[in-house]
Chain A
Protein backbone atom coordinates (compact mmCIF):
# COMPACT_ATOMS: atom_id res chain seq x y z
CA UNK A 1 0.00 0.00 0.00
CA UNK A 2 1.40 3.47 -0.95
CA UNK A 3 1.93 5.96 1.79
CA UNK A 4 2.20 9.56 0.59
CA UNK A 5 4.25 11.88 2.71
CA UNK A 6 3.53 15.50 3.56
CA UNK A 7 6.31 16.67 1.24
CA UNK A 8 4.80 14.82 -1.70
CA UNK A 9 1.38 16.25 -0.93
CA UNK A 10 2.75 19.78 -0.70
CA UNK A 11 4.70 19.55 -3.96
CA UNK A 12 1.69 18.06 -5.72
CA UNK A 13 -0.68 20.75 -4.43
CA UNK A 14 1.74 23.47 -5.55
CA UNK A 15 2.11 21.94 -9.00
CA UNK A 16 -1.66 21.79 -9.39
CA UNK A 17 -2.13 25.36 -8.16
CA UNK A 18 0.41 26.63 -10.68
CA UNK A 19 -1.50 25.44 -13.71
CA UNK A 20 -5.06 24.85 -12.55
CA UNK A 21 -6.48 27.94 -14.28
CA UNK A 22 -5.02 26.93 -17.64
CA UNK A 23 -6.13 23.35 -17.06
CA UNK A 24 -9.69 24.48 -16.35
CA UNK A 25 -9.79 26.69 -19.45
CA UNK A 26 -8.55 23.83 -21.60
CA UNK A 27 -11.26 21.61 -20.13
CA UNK A 28 -13.82 24.34 -20.67
CA UNK A 29 -13.13 24.63 -24.40
CA UNK A 30 -13.25 20.87 -24.72
CA UNK A 31 -16.57 20.45 -22.87
CA UNK A 32 -18.03 23.95 -23.28
CA UNK A 33 -19.80 23.52 -19.95
CA UNK A 34 -18.40 24.85 -16.69
CA UNK A 35 -19.76 22.01 -14.51
CA UNK A 36 -18.49 19.25 -16.77
CA UNK A 37 -15.21 21.09 -17.04
CA UNK A 38 -14.81 21.21 -13.29
CA UNK A 39 -15.60 17.49 -13.04
CA UNK A 40 -13.07 16.76 -15.75
CA UNK A 41 -10.40 18.81 -13.99
CA UNK A 42 -11.20 17.12 -10.67
CA UNK A 43 -11.01 13.64 -12.16
CA UNK A 44 -7.75 14.48 -13.91
CA UNK A 45 -6.17 15.86 -10.75
CA UNK A 46 -7.20 12.75 -8.83
CA UNK A 47 -5.65 10.55 -11.49
CA UNK A 48 -2.55 12.69 -11.41
CA UNK A 49 -2.30 12.33 -7.64
CA UNK A 50 -2.44 8.54 -7.87
CA UNK A 51 0.47 8.58 -10.29
CA UNK A 52 2.40 11.40 -8.65
CA UNK A 53 4.80 9.23 -6.62
CA UNK A 54 5.91 7.51 -9.82
CA UNK A 55 6.53 10.74 -11.73
CA UNK A 56 10.26 11.22 -12.16
CA UNK A 57 10.34 14.56 -13.94
CA UNK A 58 8.36 16.96 -11.79
CA UNK A 59 9.52 19.93 -13.87
CA UNK A 60 7.41 18.67 -16.77
CA UNK A 61 4.36 18.46 -14.59
CA UNK A 62 2.25 20.92 -16.59
CA UNK A 63 2.50 18.89 -19.78
CA UNK A 64 1.82 15.77 -17.78
CA UNK A 65 -1.37 17.24 -16.26
CA UNK A 66 -2.63 18.44 -19.64
CA UNK A 67 -1.93 15.00 -21.09
CA UNK A 68 -3.92 13.35 -18.31
CA UNK A 69 -6.82 15.74 -18.88
CA UNK A 70 -6.72 15.23 -22.65
CA UNK A 71 -6.79 11.44 -22.20
CA UNK A 72 -9.47 11.62 -19.53
CA UNK A 73 -11.59 13.72 -21.86
CA UNK A 74 -11.06 11.28 -24.73
CA UNK A 75 -11.87 8.33 -22.47
CA UNK A 76 -14.94 9.95 -20.98
CA UNK A 77 -16.20 11.10 -24.35
CA UNK A 78 -15.87 7.64 -25.81
CA UNK A 79 -17.85 6.22 -22.87
CA UNK A 80 -20.25 9.17 -23.11
CA UNK A 81 -19.53 9.94 -19.47
CA UNK A 82 -18.93 13.51 -20.50
CA UNK A 83 -21.61 14.30 -23.04
CA UNK A 84 -19.89 17.21 -24.73
CA UNK A 85 -22.36 19.92 -25.46
CA UNK A 86 -23.06 20.17 -29.12
CA UNK A 87 -21.74 23.48 -30.35
CA UNK A 88 -25.15 24.25 -31.76
CA UNK A 89 -26.62 23.78 -28.28
CA UNK A 90 -23.81 25.45 -26.40
CA UNK A 91 -24.71 28.64 -24.68
CA UNK A 92 -22.09 30.42 -22.67
CA UNK A 93 -23.29 31.76 -19.42
CA UNK A 94 -22.60 35.47 -18.99
CA UNK A 95 -20.27 34.84 -16.04
CA UNK A 96 -18.11 32.52 -18.12
CA UNK A 97 -16.38 35.32 -20.00
CA UNK A 98 -15.73 39.01 -19.54
CA UNK A 99 -16.66 39.57 -23.20
CA UNK A 100 -19.50 37.16 -24.08
CA UNK A 101 -19.65 38.39 -27.69
CA UNK A 102 -15.97 37.64 -28.20
CA UNK A 103 -16.41 34.24 -26.57
CA UNK A 104 -19.32 33.49 -28.87
CA UNK A 105 -17.21 34.34 -31.91
CA UNK A 106 -14.42 32.20 -30.50
CA UNK A 107 -16.77 29.30 -30.11
CA UNK A 108 -17.95 29.72 -33.68
CA UNK A 109 -14.36 29.83 -34.89
CA UNK A 110 -13.35 26.75 -32.93
CA UNK A 111 -16.40 24.97 -34.30
CA UNK A 112 -15.02 25.37 -37.78
CA UNK A 113 -11.76 23.60 -36.85
CA UNK A 114 -11.23 19.88 -36.90
CA UNK A 115 -10.86 18.22 -33.53
CA UNK A 116 -7.12 17.65 -33.88
CA UNK A 117 -6.49 21.25 -34.85
CA UNK A 118 -8.68 22.48 -32.01
CA UNK A 119 -6.65 20.49 -29.48
CA UNK A 120 -3.38 21.78 -30.91
CA UNK A 121 -4.49 25.42 -30.76
CA UNK A 122 -5.87 25.12 -27.24
CA UNK A 123 -2.74 23.42 -25.97
CA UNK A 124 -0.49 26.05 -27.47
CA UNK A 125 -2.47 29.17 -26.60
CA UNK A 126 -3.69 28.07 -23.16
CA UNK A 127 -0.88 25.75 -22.14
CA UNK A 128 1.96 27.58 -23.84
CA UNK A 129 3.38 24.33 -25.19
CA UNK A 130 5.81 24.00 -28.08
CA UNK A 131 4.91 22.01 -31.19
CA UNK A 132 7.08 19.15 -29.91
CA UNK A 133 5.32 19.11 -26.55
CA UNK A 134 1.90 19.18 -28.19
CA UNK A 135 2.96 16.31 -30.41
CA UNK A 136 3.82 14.33 -27.26
CA UNK A 137 0.43 15.07 -25.68
CA UNK A 138 -1.54 14.20 -28.80
CA UNK A 139 0.64 11.26 -29.76
CA UNK A 140 1.55 12.54 -33.20
CA UNK A 141 4.54 14.04 -35.01
CA UNK A 142 5.84 17.55 -34.55
CA UNK A 143 5.45 18.18 -38.28
CA UNK A 144 1.79 17.18 -38.15
CA UNK A 145 1.23 19.57 -35.26
CA UNK A 146 2.91 22.43 -37.14
CA UNK A 147 0.68 21.82 -40.14
CA UNK A 148 -2.46 21.71 -37.97
CA UNK A 149 -1.51 24.91 -36.17
CA UNK A 150 -0.72 26.76 -39.39
CA UNK A 151 -4.05 25.82 -40.94
CA UNK A 152 -5.93 26.41 -37.68
CA UNK A 153 -4.58 29.95 -37.28
CA UNK A 154 -5.43 30.80 -40.86
CA UNK A 155 -8.96 29.50 -40.30
CA UNK A 156 -9.37 31.30 -36.96
CA UNK A 157 -8.25 34.61 -38.41
CA UNK A 158 -10.57 34.07 -41.33
CA UNK A 159 -13.49 33.62 -38.95
CA UNK A 160 -12.58 36.17 -36.31
CA UNK A 161 -11.22 38.87 -38.60
CA UNK A 162 -13.04 38.77 -41.93
CA UNK A 163 -10.98 40.39 -44.69
CA UNK A 164 -7.65 39.90 -42.94
CA UNK A 165 -7.03 36.26 -43.82
CA UNK A 166 -7.71 36.70 -47.49
CA UNK A 167 -4.60 38.80 -47.66
CA UNK A 168 -2.66 36.27 -45.60
CA UNK A 169 -3.77 33.47 -47.88
CA UNK A 170 -2.54 35.43 -50.85
CA UNK A 171 0.70 36.13 -49.03
CA UNK A 172 1.24 32.42 -48.39
Chain B
Protein backbone atom coordinates (compact mmCIF):
# COMPACT_ATOMS: atom_id res chain seq x y z
CA UNK B 1 0.00 0.00 0.00
CA UNK B 2 1.34 3.45 -0.89
CA UNK B 3 0.67 6.73 0.92
CA UNK B 4 -2.15 7.79 -1.44
CA UNK B 5 -4.00 4.52 -0.98
CA UNK B 6 -3.52 4.70 2.78
CA UNK B 7 -4.96 8.22 3.04
CA UNK B 8 -7.97 7.31 0.95
CA UNK B 9 -8.57 4.31 3.20
CA UNK B 10 -8.16 6.49 6.28
CA UNK B 11 -10.64 9.06 4.98
CA UNK B 12 -13.24 6.52 3.87
CA UNK B 13 -13.36 4.66 7.19
CA UNK B 14 -10.84 5.89 9.77
CA UNK B 15 -12.00 3.51 12.49
CA UNK B 16 -11.48 0.37 10.40
CA UNK B 17 -8.01 0.17 8.90
CA UNK B 18 -7.23 -3.18 7.37
CA UNK B 19 -4.01 -5.07 7.97
CA UNK B 20 -2.23 -3.59 4.94
CA UNK B 21 -3.09 -0.03 6.00
CA UNK B 22 -2.01 -0.67 9.57
CA UNK B 23 1.27 -2.06 8.34
CA UNK B 24 1.81 1.02 6.18
CA UNK B 25 1.08 3.38 9.10
CA UNK B 26 3.64 1.52 11.21
CA UNK B 27 6.31 2.27 8.63
CA UNK B 28 5.27 5.79 7.53
CA UNK B 29 5.38 8.56 10.19
CA UNK B 30 3.62 11.10 7.92
CA UNK B 31 0.69 8.78 7.27
CA UNK B 32 0.59 7.82 10.95
CA UNK B 33 0.29 11.52 11.82
CA UNK B 34 -2.32 12.02 9.10
CA UNK B 35 -4.37 9.16 10.52
CA UNK B 36 -4.05 10.40 14.12
CA UNK B 37 -5.39 13.81 13.06
CA UNK B 38 -8.16 12.03 11.18
CA UNK B 39 -9.22 10.11 14.28
CA UNK B 40 -9.35 13.33 16.30
CA UNK B 41 -11.52 14.92 13.64
CA UNK B 42 -13.71 11.84 13.62
CA UNK B 43 -14.28 12.14 17.36
CA UNK B 44 -15.31 15.78 16.96
CA UNK B 45 -17.61 14.82 14.11
CA UNK B 46 -19.24 12.09 16.20
CA UNK B 47 -19.68 14.49 19.12
CA UNK B 48 -21.22 17.13 16.88
CA UNK B 49 -23.73 14.65 15.50
CA UNK B 50 -24.70 13.37 18.95
CA UNK B 51 -27.88 15.40 19.44
CA UNK B 52 -29.89 14.84 22.60
CA UNK B 53 -32.44 12.06 22.36
CA UNK B 54 -35.84 13.26 23.62
CA UNK B 55 -36.73 12.05 27.07
CA UNK B 56 -39.09 9.09 27.04
CA UNK B 57 -38.54 8.36 23.34
CA UNK B 58 -38.00 4.64 23.92
CA UNK B 59 -41.18 4.27 25.95
CA UNK B 60 -43.26 6.29 23.48
CA UNK B 61 -42.06 4.39 20.43
CA UNK B 62 -42.50 0.97 22.02
CA UNK B 63 -45.87 1.88 23.57
CA UNK B 64 -47.24 3.01 20.23
CA UNK B 65 -45.88 -0.08 18.56
CA UNK B 66 -47.55 -2.21 21.23
CA UNK B 67 -50.79 -0.32 20.64
CA UNK B 68 -50.52 -1.04 16.94
CA UNK B 69 -50.31 -4.74 17.73
CA UNK B 70 -53.64 -4.73 19.52
CA UNK B 71 -55.87 -4.22 16.48
CA UNK B 72 -54.55 -7.52 15.17
CA UNK B 73 -56.01 -9.21 18.25
CA UNK B 74 -59.23 -7.19 18.08
CA UNK B 75 -59.59 -7.99 14.42
CA UNK B 76 -59.12 -11.67 15.19
CA UNK B 77 -61.70 -11.46 17.96
CA UNK B 78 -64.12 -9.51 15.77
CA UNK B 79 -63.71 -12.05 12.99
CA UNK B 80 -64.34 -14.90 15.43
CA UNK B 81 -67.45 -13.18 16.76
CA UNK B 82 -68.72 -12.58 13.26
CA UNK B 83 -68.29 -16.24 12.43
CA UNK B 84 -69.99 -17.25 15.67
CA UNK B 85 -72.90 -14.89 15.00
CA UNK B 86 -73.25 -16.15 11.46
CA UNK B 87 -73.19 -19.77 12.62
CA UNK B 88 -75.69 -18.95 15.34
CA UNK B 89 -77.92 -17.14 12.91
CA UNK B 90 -77.97 -19.90 10.34
CA UNK B 91 -78.30 -22.60 12.96
CA UNK B 92 -81.15 -20.86 14.70
CA UNK B 93 -82.90 -19.37 11.71
CA UNK B 94 -84.85 -22.42 10.49
CA UNK B 95 -86.76 -22.79 13.80
CA UNK B 96 -87.34 -19.11 14.47
CA UNK B 97 -90.93 -17.96 14.45
CA UNK B 98 -91.10 -14.42 13.03
CA UNK B 99 -93.39 -13.07 15.76
CA UNK B 100 -91.30 -14.64 18.53
CA UNK B 101 -88.20 -13.24 16.84
CA UNK B 102 -89.88 -9.83 16.72
CA UNK B 103 -90.28 -10.17 20.49
CA UNK B 104 -86.53 -10.61 20.91
CA UNK B 105 -85.83 -7.69 18.59
CA UNK B 106 -88.26 -5.59 20.60
CA UNK B 107 -86.39 -6.35 23.82
CA UNK B 108 -83.00 -5.78 22.19
CA UNK B 109 -83.70 -2.57 20.34
CA UNK B 110 -86.98 -1.01 21.40
CA UNK B 111 -87.85 -1.89 24.95
CA UNK B 112 -85.82 0.80 26.67
CA UNK B 113 -87.23 3.49 24.39
CA UNK B 114 -90.76 2.10 24.78
CA UNK B 115 -90.45 2.36 28.56
CA UNK B 116 -89.07 5.88 28.26
CA UNK B 117 -91.84 7.03 25.92
CA UNK B 118 -94.93 5.23 27.29
CA UNK B 119 -97.15 6.30 30.15
CA UNK B 120 -97.11 3.56 32.77
CA UNK B 121 -100.41 1.68 32.97
CA UNK B 122 -102.29 1.04 36.17
CA UNK B 123 -101.60 -2.46 37.46
CA UNK B 124 -105.37 -2.92 37.98
CA UNK B 125 -105.97 -2.32 34.26
CA UNK B 126 -103.34 -4.94 33.49
CA UNK B 127 -104.96 -7.37 35.91
CA UNK B 128 -108.31 -6.90 34.09
CA UNK B 129 -106.70 -7.53 30.71
CA UNK B 130 -104.97 -10.63 32.08
CA UNK B 131 -108.27 -11.99 33.42
CA UNK B 132 -109.96 -11.45 30.04
CA UNK B 133 -107.14 -13.27 28.31
CA UNK B 134 -107.16 -16.14 30.82
CA UNK B 135 -103.65 -15.40 32.09
CA UNK B 136 -102.53 -15.50 35.72
CA UNK B 137 -100.14 -12.82 36.96
CA UNK B 138 -99.50 -14.41 40.34
CA UNK B 139 -96.96 -13.17 42.86
CA UNK B 140 -95.02 -16.38 42.20
CA UNK B 141 -94.17 -15.02 38.78
CA UNK B 142 -91.84 -12.45 40.27
CA UNK B 143 -91.61 -8.75 40.94
CA UNK B 144 -93.32 -6.63 38.30
CA UNK B 145 -91.07 -3.69 37.49
CA UNK B 146 -92.99 -2.01 34.68
CA UNK B 147 -96.42 -2.10 33.09
CA UNK B 148 -97.31 -0.19 29.97
CA UNK B 149 -98.56 -0.47 26.42
CA UNK B 150 -96.62 -0.46 23.20
CA UNK B 151 -97.08 -1.34 19.55
CA UNK B 152 -95.98 -4.89 18.73
CA UNK B 153 -96.30 -6.91 15.54
CA UNK B 154 -99.11 -4.73 14.17
CA UNK B 155 -101.13 -4.77 17.41
CA UNK B 156 -101.12 -3.04 20.74
CA UNK B 157 -99.43 -5.08 23.42
CA UNK B 158 -99.51 -4.78 27.19
CA UNK B 159 -95.88 -4.62 28.08
CA UNK B 160 -94.80 -6.12 31.41
CA UNK B 161 -91.31 -6.34 32.80
CA UNK B 162 -90.90 -8.99 35.48
CA UNK B 163 -87.90 -9.73 37.67
CA UNK B 164 -88.09 -13.49 38.17
CA UNK B 165 -85.78 -15.77 40.18
CA UNK B 166 -84.35 -16.87 36.83
CA UNK B 167 -83.68 -13.36 35.53
CA UNK B 168 -85.55 -10.60 33.81
CA UNK B 169 -88.48 -11.63 31.63
CA UNK B 170 -90.48 -9.45 29.29
CA UNK B 171 -94.14 -10.22 28.62
CA UNK B 172 -96.10 -8.83 25.73
CA UNK B 173 -99.79 -9.55 26.17
CA UNK B 174 -101.65 -9.19 22.87
CA UNK B 175 -105.41 -9.73 23.38
CA UNK B 176 -106.37 -9.19 19.74
CA UNK B 177 -103.82 -11.60 18.26
CA UNK B 178 -105.02 -15.17 18.53
CA UNK B 179 -102.52 -17.92 17.88
CA UNK B 180 -103.02 -21.51 16.72
CA UNK B 181 -99.93 -23.02 18.33
CA UNK B 182 -96.89 -22.24 20.42
CA UNK B 183 -93.86 -20.88 18.54
CA UNK B 184 -90.30 -20.11 19.59
CA UNK B 185 -87.20 -18.19 18.54
CA UNK B 186 -83.66 -17.69 19.76
CA UNK B 187 -81.31 -14.87 18.84
CA UNK B 188 -78.79 -12.44 20.42
CA UNK B 189 -78.39 -14.85 23.34
CA UNK B 190 -82.07 -14.57 24.18
CA UNK B 191 -85.01 -16.91 23.87
CA UNK B 192 -88.66 -16.19 23.14
CA UNK B 193 -91.88 -18.13 23.05
CA UNK B 194 -95.20 -16.88 21.81
CA UNK B 195 -97.95 -18.90 23.38
CA UNK B 196 -101.66 -19.04 22.68
CA UNK B 197 -103.99 -18.20 25.59
CA UNK B 198 -107.79 -18.14 25.96
CA UNK B 199 -108.07 -14.75 24.28
CA UNK B 200 -105.11 -13.71 22.20
CA UNK B 201 -101.46 -14.61 22.77
CA UNK B 202 -98.53 -13.77 25.01
CA UNK B 203 -94.94 -13.32 23.96
CA UNK B 204 -92.45 -14.29 26.65
CA UNK B 205 -88.87 -13.15 26.18
CA UNK B 206 -86.02 -14.06 28.55
CA UNK B 207 -82.42 -15.04 28.86
CA UNK B 208 -82.94 -18.80 29.11
CA UNK B 209 -85.31 -21.56 28.13
CA UNK B 210 -85.89 -22.36 31.79
CA UNK B 211 -87.11 -18.86 32.60
CA UNK B 212 -89.46 -19.00 29.58
CA UNK B 213 -90.94 -22.36 30.57
CA UNK B 214 -91.32 -21.34 34.20
CA UNK B 215 -93.08 -18.10 33.24
CA UNK B 216 -95.33 -19.86 30.74
CA UNK B 217 -96.34 -22.48 33.32
CA UNK B 218 -97.22 -19.82 35.88
CA UNK B 219 -99.14 -17.70 33.33
CA UNK B 220 -101.32 -20.65 32.45
CA UNK B 221 -101.84 -21.79 36.03
CA UNK B 222 -105.13 -19.94 36.54
Contacts and interface: CB of A to CB of B under 8 A. Distances in A.
A125 B46 contact: yes
Contacts of A2: 72
Interface stretch (B57-65, B168-176, B178-186, B197-205): B57-65
B93 interface: no
Interface string A146-172: 110110011011001100100010011
Interface stretch (B7-15, B98-106, B117-125, B207-215): B7-15
A102 interface: yes
Interface stretch (B48-56, B83-91, B133-141): B48-56
Contacts of B47: 99, 102
Nearest to B34: A171
Contacts of B116: none
Contacts, number: 123
Nearest to B79: A1
B145 interface: no
B81 interface: no
Interface size class of B (residues with CB under 8 A): 35 or more
B61 A20 contact: yes
A64 interface: no
Contact of B16 (A92, A130, A168): A130
27 contacts: A1-B76, A2-B72, A3-B76, A4-B69, A9-B69, A24-B57, A38-B54, A49-B65, A49-B69, A102-B48, A103-B51, A106-B45, A106-B48, A124-B13, A125-B46, A131-B12, A146-B8, A146-B12, A147-B12, A153-B14, A154-B11, A156-B41, A157-B41, A160-B44, A160-B48, A172-B7, A172-B8
Given A34-B54, A131-B13, A168-B34, 19 more contacts: A1-B79, A3-B76, A9-B66, A20-B57, A25-B50, A25-B53, A42-B61, A45-B61, A102-B44, A102-B47, A102-B48, A105-B48, A125-B42, A145-B12, A149-B11, A153-B41, A156-B41, A171-B7, A172-B7
